[in-house]
Structure 1
Amino acid sequence: MKILHLSDTHNCHKQLKDLPEADIIIHAGDFSFTGTEKETLNFIEWFYALPYKYKIFIAGNHDDYLFGANIEGLPDNCYYLCNSGVTIGNMHFYGVPLFIDDVISGEYDRQLNNIPNDTDVLITHQPPFGILDFSENINYGDFILLQNVLRIKPKYHLFGHIHNAYGMEKNDETLFVNSSILDNNYEIKNNPVILNL
């Protein structure tokens, strides 16, 4: 199974041409910039039309329109994961969004602590602390997320959020991937990442 992973396109998704073939495309949030309904619908229409067998996306901190939203009417092969999961083949995918209101209320920490133990592919917007999260002399990752990733040991942890921390890093159990497409100037700099499961 082949995955195409991308994140942090911030309304530039239609500028992405000749995307490589894969079985599953995964967007790890921040598809919009100001989080409006118009931006969200523009992304969703583009995403639905892509020629991939399965499509998964989560919300990032810029995607406020989806906060508390109950998305209905998705095609059978398209999944919006909001503290929820889906099994494709024998792989368990689980997605945790990043909404600032949840961070402020403490709900985000509870969501991270509830990630299922059988998760094979974890999709978050924020990185775990100390892994592909460093920018301007600050680690922007989340320590509770790191603790849970080390507990669960997913095969893959896919995220974005920190634009200039694009790349891959591996420990004994997990391949960590930051697939932020834009740089800190919000210009397309990086390519989506292909992963072979």
Structure 2
Amino acid sequence: MKILFLADEESKMYWEYFKKEDFKGIDIIVSCGDLNPSYLSFLTTMVGVPLLYVHGNHDDKYNVKPPEGCICIEDEIYEYEGVRFLGLGGSNRYKPGENQYTQKEMTKRVKKLWWKLKRKNGFDVLVTHSPAKGLHDGEDTCHTGFDVFNRLIEQYKPRYFVHGHVHMSYGRQFVRLDKVGETTVINAYEKYIVEI
């Protein structure tokens, strides 16, 4: 299975200069948040594959205009062709607003998933907007990662943990790819393709 992950910035190559052949072999598209809903609707329509998404901290507009034809996987384990995607969007709370959570609130969200996790026997891909604490995150409140994501990785050992939120333009310390035990960690900023 070939998965196209997206996050944070719309790719001009995929939107303004769209060519169907650029998506050859892509089986599913997954958004890690903070993308224009029209961009996501455009891609799922033009490419003709399912598009899964979680919310970024700037995605309150999805309440008014959700991405059409796309599947929200917030607090869900969505299975596609045998691959289980667990979705947990949002960022660390840094001001009043939607799609922001304290460490405690995100931990509570994960605890509520215990039955789904048990029934599905875990998950293969953790899809989030924010990184895990101490792993690709920043020092400011907004970009601090979540502790509970580390615990999910440790307990369930997914094949991939894919997030957005930390932009390549933030500086030379940007880390795109990492490994934690058996889990490959990917910052999906703009676009990143994975083959499972």
The answer to whether 1:48 aligns with 2:41 is no
Equivalence for 1:187: none
Aligned amino acid, residue 46 of structure 2? L
Is contact 2:55-2:129 (8 Å) kept?
A: yes
**Aligned counterpart in structure 1 of residue 110 of structure 2, from 109, 112, 133:** 112
Equivalence for 1:140: 144
Give TM-score, length-normalised by structure 2.
0.74
Please provide the CA RMSD for this pair.
3.1
Is contact 2:10-2:39 (8 Å) kept?
A: no
**Aligned counterpart in structure 2 of residue 82 of structure 1, from 39, 59, 74:** 74
Is contact 1:31-1:63 (8 Å) kept?
A: yes
- Alignment partners' CA distance in 2, 1:159 and 1:149: 13
Identity %: 24
Cα distance, 1:62–1:151 mapped onto 2, change above 3 Å: same
- Alignment partners' CA distance in 2, 1:11 and 1:92: 26
Residue 78 of structure 2 aligns to a residue in which SS? strand
- Alignment partners' CA distance in 1, 2:144 and 2:44: 31
Is contact 2:103-2:146 (8 Å) kept?
A: no
Q: Can you give the 5+ residue segments of structure 2 that lack an aligned partner in the other structure?
A: 169-173
The total of aligned residue pairs comes to 174
Deviation at 1:10, TM superposition (A): 5.8
**Aligned counterpart in structure 2 of residue 167 of structure 1, from 172, 176, 179:** 176
Aligned amino acid, residue 109 of structure 2? Q
Deviation at 1:106, TM superposition (A): 4.5
Deviation at 1:171, TM superposition (A): 2.3
Deviation at 1:7, TM superposition (A): 0.6
Give TM-score, length-normalised by structure 1.
0.73
Equivalence for 1:64: 60
Q: Deviations over 1:27-53 (max 9, x none)?
A: 110004xxxxxxx3x234313323143
The answer to whether 1:8 aligns with 2:8 is yes
Residue 60 of structure 1 aligns to a residue in which SS? coil
Q: Deviations over 1:111-153 (max 9, x none)?
A: 13345251111100000112222478x9722122212221221
- Alignment partners' CA distance in 1, 2:192 and 2:149: 22
Equivalence for 1:94: 86
Deviation at 1:109, TM superposition (A): 2.5
- Alignment partners' CA distance in 2, 1:159 and 1:125: 5
Deviation at 1:2, TM superposition (A): 0.8
- Alignment partners' CA distance in 2, 1:146 and 1:106: 14
Is contact 1:28-1:57 (8 Å) kept?
A: yes
